[in-house]
């Protein structure tokens, strides 16, 4: 934490040099919303480039019309041109492509026996997609080596580079076409049963519905029976006569869908289903294959979400082989990471758990699991919060501490390290570390005072590192994952708003409402800030789990609209309250069974801090947020009407009983088991408190937070004789994307200008 503060302080000191002085500001132009908002006609992206690896030997830069390579010694070479690709495709009448950006160069960690491949062994293959065909090209030899016709209606395509089998869906069913071109309809289910697609509303880290075995010869897939789930009707007003789009939406406490996992064998054309018992009120998450493709691992969770089990199933028979790890917690367990086997030792895998209070890595050893061997400390292990971990496999903590592992990027095969993203440097950043599998010792990779994402090279020797910091919009560089921190810079993006008036960004910490916890804030001040003036403030808030709005990235995570409003003379403020991301389990789960209450108290601490500043006009405080932030905005305006004069809430949760089962019940339990919590957090019950100006915006196709939230709140306000404002964005889902996002922000801006 101390390090972070120093780092921020240094960054702030350098700001006056990077940003313009008051005098200069007059010569600069103010960016418009079209310049500042993604989707705007003149939106100013930070410069970017696209790279992929060719083993450890070279990195490839993908352009529209060519791909160029650079050997690790710095020498350049030509890979292939768009013209060459289209010429090859044209000869076989396979269609054409318009750009090389979307080409995929085959490159993976799954190297032979967990060891780096030699250049001679390494494939020189790229996959392109013409719309009509999927084509594998040997870019070194400039030849087509394989092709596969595509189906127009196909969605959720999942292609395996080894078997070249493709899984895809048409409507609610799953199909497979094998590498040699034989198509099979794997499922034939009626409407209401969905196969091969993501389930459980994308919670628990689930993003897809098909999982090829390592060799691509078996396909695990989700089957979700949601025929028993109530349908929420969204009306499409663009049809000649308005038409219903029904969404199967299980609301908290109501009947939910039933998920099972099948394994399809394209050779036998047979499917076995995992014998997991009655799927009612159970979640099947984090599917992964054993390296030998003979068994499947998944983490199963009960509906109450307080008991998770890592299970292994026989891929041939579907029978359960064993339960390796169990976790329980008095509040909730939230498995979000599949297990990952070590490439060089198929008897060991990495399991991730928040059990200690922070997400950390545990090395599990199947070979040491002779009987019911338990490690590191007996049958059960209790965390300070009462979380219980029961391991039936040898288990060793690889990382620990009051910071968390965010992500496993891969492995360095030669140094036998796992490469991770973590918050160890500061919770505002994601830094990359190499962790020695044997000793657990770790070392930083890349620049310390920046936040990183990365792509590892073939055997994990290098990475293409993308980072930003408060003053750096984007740098792309090559790093060696071992040894000293040194980098070869590929791109140093210019400030996209050079020549424009820009505000200043500052971050710091205040104490949460518990008096103990540090919370990070960001304050954005107009370029011509005058400490002797009084400024109105707008708080931008999210406040819910799985997100953070104050970061150590470019402009500290400030959004284009913060810039716009600061340029109009507002102080913009954001605070990541307890309940938000990257601060560990107890920081998050303090909100359990009463979402919005503690979060609001922390936001009020932010207001108290603001009011302590001499340049803040405490009578002109507004708040804006979307989704959970829409809930927060509405809740703050209603619970603290003496503080918040104006609010603009987008797609808000108003009543948690209208929210879906997976996310909602994790934090709120069910309306049946937590009636007081649901009542306390139901903003309809506070409708009579509305005093200031509150605009609620909802999308008419919002299938995440259905329009019923906002419309029922309108009714509650009408009943309570209060006067909110309303706007609806037709055809949009759970936010306003594309060009209309500029309209949205103009609408929001006008509301604050008219009322604050």
Q: Which is nearer to a second copy, 230 or 367 (CB)?
A: 230
Q: Is 709 a catalytic residue?
A: no
Q: Which is nearer to a second copy, 706 or 756 (CB)?
A: 706
> How many Å apart are CA 431 and CA 288, to the nearest integer?
26
CB contact set of 26 (below 8 Å; sequence gap of 6+): none
Range in contact with a second copy (rule: CB under 8 A) among 87-95, 265-273, 533-541, 739-747? 739-747
Examine residue 42 and tell whether it contacts a second copy (CB under 8 A).
no
Examine residue 715 and tell whether it contacts a second copy (CB under 8 A).
yes
Binding mask 610-649 for a second copy (x = CB under 8 A): ----------------------------------------
Examine residue 142 and tell whether it contacts a second copy (CB under 8 A).
no
CB of residue 405 vs a second copy: minimum separation in angstroms?
38
> How many Å apart are CA 2 and CA 733, to the nearest integer?
41
Range in contact with a second copy (rule: CB under 8 A) among 76-84, 93-101, 409-417, 719-727? 719-727
Range in contact with a second copy (rule: CB under 8 A) among 65-73, 177-185, 350-358, 738-746? 738-746
- Classify 588 as helix, strand or coil: helix
Q: Which is nearer to a second copy, 257 or 525 (CB)?
A: 257
CB of residue 325 vs a second copy: minimum separation in angstroms?
36
CB of residue 179 vs a second copy: minimum separation in angstroms?
45
Question: Where in 683-712 is the site for a second copy (CB under 8 A)?
Answer: 700, 706-708, 711-712
**Quick one: DSSP state of residue 29?**
B
Examine residue 730 and tell whether it contacts a second copy (CB under 8 A).
yes
Range in contact with a second copy (rule: CB under 8 A) among 62-70, 641-649, 674-682, 728-736? 728-736
C-alpha distances out from residue 553 to 11, 215, 366, 405, Å? 11, 39, 40, 18
Q: Is 734 a catalytic residue?
A: yes
CB of residue 677 vs a second copy: minimum separation in angstroms?
18
> How many Å apart are CA 756 and CA 754, to the nearest integer?
6
The label of the residue with tokens 């209450």 reads: 597
Q: Which is nearer to a second copy, 201 or 474 (CB)?
A: 201
> How many Å apart are CA 474 and CA 189, to the nearest integer?
47
Query: In this chain, which of 10, 24, 145, 244 binds a second copy, going by CB under 8 A?
Result: 244
CB of residue 673 vs a second copy: minimum separation in angstroms?
17
Q: Which residues pair with 326 in a beta bridge?
A: 309, 390
Q: Which secondary-structure segment (H or E) carries 242?
A: none
Q: Is 319 a catalytic residue?
A: no
Q: At what angle do helices 560-567 and 740-755 cross, to 10 degrees?
A: 40
Q: Which secondary-structure segment (H or E) carries 665?
A: helix 661-668
Query: In this chain, which of 28, 228, 254, 444 binds a second copy, going by CB under 8 A?
Result: 254
Cβ atoms of 489 and 47 within 8 Å: the answer is no
From the list 638, 633, 629, 624, the residue with the least C-alpha distance to 720 is 638
C-alpha distances out from residue 430 to 425, 449, 542, 637, Å? 8, 10, 20, 33
**Quick one: DSSP state of residue 20?**
P
Query: In this chain, which of 76, 243, 270, 494 binds a second copy, going by CB under 8 A?
Result: 243
CB of residue 267 vs a second copy: minimum separation in angstroms?
44
Range in contact with a second copy (rule: CB under 8 A) among 176-184, 503-511, 614-622, 721-729? 721-729
CB of residue 724 vs a second copy: minimum separation in angstroms?
9
> How many Å apart are CA 606 and CA 425, to the nearest integer?
24
> How many Å apart are CA 314 and CA 308, to the nearest integer?
19
Cβ atoms of 615 and 636 within 8 Å: the answer is no
- The single residue of 35, 562, 702, 703 carrying the catalytic annotation is 702
> How many Å apart are CA 83 and CA 99, to the nearest integer?
10
Query: In this chain, which of 293, 714, 733, 734 binds a second copy, going by CB under 8 A?
Result: 714
Q: Which is nearer to a second copy, 75 or 721 (CB)?
A: 721
Q: Is the peptide bond before 376 cis (omega within 30 degrees of 0)?
A: yes
Q: Which residues pair with 136 in a beta bridge?
A: 127, 146
Task: Please compute Rg for the chain using Cα positions.
Answer: 27
- The single residue of 627, 657, 703, 709 carrying the catalytic annotation is 627
Kindly report the backbone phi and psi dihedral angles of residue 141, in degrees, each rounded to the nearest multiple of 5, phi listed first: -95, -5
Examine residue 725 and tell whether it contacts a second copy (CB under 8 A).
yes
> Tokens for 250?
């299980």
Examine residue 249 and tell whether it contacts a second copy (CB under 8 A).
yes
> How many Å apart are CA 590 and CA 604, to the nearest integer?
17
Q: Which is nearer to a second copy, 36 or 364 (CB)?
A: 36
Examine residue 737 and tell whether it contacts a second copy (CB under 8 A).
no
Total length of the chain: 756
CB contact set of 678 (below 8 Å; sequence gap of 6+): 252, 655, 656, 657, 668, 671
> Tokens for 623?
């708040």
Q: Which is nearer to a second copy, 522 or 732 (CB)?
A: 732
Question: Where in 210-239 is the site for a second copy (CB under 8 A)?
Answer: 230-233, 235, 237-238
CB of residue 709 vs a second copy: minimum separation in angstroms?
9
Examine residue 726 and tell whether it contacts a second copy (CB under 8 A).
yes
Q: Which secondary-structure segment (H or E) carries 164?
A: none
Q: Which is nearer to a second copy, 76 or 750 (CB)?
A: 750
Positions that interact with a second copy (CB under 8 A): 230-233, 235, 237-238, 240-244, 249, 251, 254, 657-658, 700, 706-708, 711-712, 714-715, 718, 721, 723, 725-731, 740, 743, 746-747, 750, 754
Residues classed as catalytic: 627, 702, 734
């Amino acid at each position: 934490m101390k390090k972070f503060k120093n780092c921020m302080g240094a960054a702030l000191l350098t700001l006056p040099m990077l940003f313009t002085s008051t005098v200069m500001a007059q010569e600069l132009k103010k960016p418009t919303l079209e310049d500042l908002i993604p989707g705007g006609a003149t939106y100013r992206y930070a410069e970017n480039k696209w790279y992929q690896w060719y083993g450890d030997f070279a990195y490839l830069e993908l352009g529209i019309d060519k791909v160029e390579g650079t050997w690790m010694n710095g020498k350049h070479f030509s890979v292939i041109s768009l013209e060459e690709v289209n010429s090859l495709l044209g000869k076989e009448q396979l269609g054409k492509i318009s750009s090389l950006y979307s080409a995929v160069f085959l490159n993976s960690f799954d190297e032979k026996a967990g060891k780096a491949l030699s250049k001679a062994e390494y494939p020189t293959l790229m996959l392109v997609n013409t719309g009509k065909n999927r084509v594998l090209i040997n870019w070194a030899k400039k030849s087509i080596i394989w092709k596969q016709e595509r189906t127009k209606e196909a969605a959720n395509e999942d292609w395996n580079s080894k078997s070249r089998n493709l899984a895809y869906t048409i409507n609610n069913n799953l199909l497979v076409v094998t590498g040699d071109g034989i198509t099979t309809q794997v499922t034939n289910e009626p409407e209401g049963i969905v196969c091969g697609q993501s389930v459980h509303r994308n919670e628990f880290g689930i993003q897809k519905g098909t999982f090829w075995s390592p060799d691509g010869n078996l396909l695990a897939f989700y089957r979700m029976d949601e025929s028993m789930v109530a349908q929420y009707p969204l009306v499409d007003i663009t049809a000649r006569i308005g038409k219903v789009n029904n969404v199967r939406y299980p609301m908290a406490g109501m009947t939910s869908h039933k998920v099972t996992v099948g394994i399809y064998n394209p050779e036998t054309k047979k499917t076995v289903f995992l014998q997991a018992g009655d799927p009612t009120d159970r979640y099947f998450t984090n599917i992964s294959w054993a390296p030998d493709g003979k068994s499947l691992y998944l983490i199963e969770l009960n509906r109450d979400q307080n008991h998770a089990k890592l299970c292994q199933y026989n891929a041939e028979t579907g029978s359960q082989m064993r339960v390796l790890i169990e976790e329980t917690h008095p509040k909730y367990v939230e498995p979000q990471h599949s297990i990952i086997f070590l490439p060089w030792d198929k008897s060991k895998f990495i399991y991730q758990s928040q059990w200690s209070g922070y997400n950390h890595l545990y090395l599990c050893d199947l070979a040491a699991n002779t009987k019911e061997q338990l490690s590191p400390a007996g049958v059960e292990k209790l965390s300070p919060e009462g979380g219980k971990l029961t391991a039936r496999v040898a288990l060793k903590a690889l990382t620990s501490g009051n910071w968390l592992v965010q992500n496993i990027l891969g492995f360095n095969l030669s140094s036998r390290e796992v490469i991770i993203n973590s918050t160890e440097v500061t919770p505002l950043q994601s830094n990359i570390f190499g962790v020695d599998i044997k000793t657990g010792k770790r070392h930083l990779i890349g620049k310390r005072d920046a936040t990183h994402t990365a792509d590892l090279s073939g055997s994990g020797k290098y990475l293409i590192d993308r980072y930003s910091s408060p003053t750096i919009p984007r740098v792309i560089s090559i790093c060696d994952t071992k040894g000293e921190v040194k980098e070869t810079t590929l791109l140093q993006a210019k400030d996209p708003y050079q020549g424009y008036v820009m505000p200043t960004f500052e971050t710091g910490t205040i104490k949460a409402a518990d008096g103990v916890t540090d919370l990070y804030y960001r304050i954005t001040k107009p370029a011509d800030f005058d400490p002797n003036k009084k400024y109105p403030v707008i708080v931008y808030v999210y406040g819910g789990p799985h997100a953070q709005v104050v970061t150590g990235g470019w402009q500290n995570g400030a959004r284009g609209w913060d810039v716009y409003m600061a340029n109009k003379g507002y102080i913009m403020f954001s605070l990541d309250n307890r309940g938000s991301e990257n601060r560990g389990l107890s920081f998050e789960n303090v909100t359990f069974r009463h979402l919005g209450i503690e979060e609001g108290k922390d936001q009020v601490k932010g207001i108290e801090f603001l009011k302590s500043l001499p340049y803040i006009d405490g009578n002109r405080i507004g708040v804006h947020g979307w989704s959970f932030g829409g809930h927060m905005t509405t809740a703050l305006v209603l619970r603290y009407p003496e503080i918040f004069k104006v609010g603009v809430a987008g797609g808000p949760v108003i009543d948690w009983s209208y929210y879906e089962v997976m996310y909602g019940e994790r934090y709120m339990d069910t309306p049946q088991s937590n009636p007081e919590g649901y009542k306390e957090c139901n903003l309809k019950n506070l409708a009579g408190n509305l005093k200031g100006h509150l605009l609620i915006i909802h999308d008419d196709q919002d299938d995440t937070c259905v329009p019923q939230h906002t419309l029922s709140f309108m009714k509650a306000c009408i009943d309570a004789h209060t006067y909110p404002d309303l706007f609806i964005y037709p055809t949009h889902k759970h936010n306003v994307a594309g060009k209309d996002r500029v309209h949205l922000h103009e609408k929001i801006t006008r509301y604050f200008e008219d009322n604050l």
